[in-house]
Amino acid sequence: MTTQRADAQRAWKAVLTPGMFVRINKAGHDKQLKPPFTLVAVAKESCDVFVSRYNPKPRSFEPDPIEKMIHGTKAAPIKPPILITLFGSSPNRYTVQGEINEAGEWAPYSER
């Protein structure tokens, strides 16, 4: 693993915690998204990006979405607010959108 990749994974892991993935994945299941999920996160302040494609198992973190990172950048410290879009593989093409707000809490956006 390259140093840049490892640095990006460590930085994103501080914000995209297992508990945060539970909340985001629950929102995806509630909206009837079908795994595998693709999560795109953008740090609002630094514009750093995290992209992961993973198959969530209920109440489990195998495989770890951080370890399944497709791409991640870390030009600055990763801190909220973090903009989140979660895509599923279902043909309905729904997405879950929200953010990890400055308090570090999951805040889904309302339907538009």
Nearest C-alpha neighbor of 45 from the set 81, 11, 73: 81
Residue 90 near residue 47, CB atoms below 8 Å: no
Supply 44's token pair: 């609002």
Residue 83 near residue 42, CB atoms below 8 Å: yes
Average pLDDT for runs of 10 along the chain of length 112? 88 94 93 93 96 80 80 94 94 89 94 51
Quote the pLDDT of residue 112: 45
Q: What does pTM read for this prediction? A: 0.89
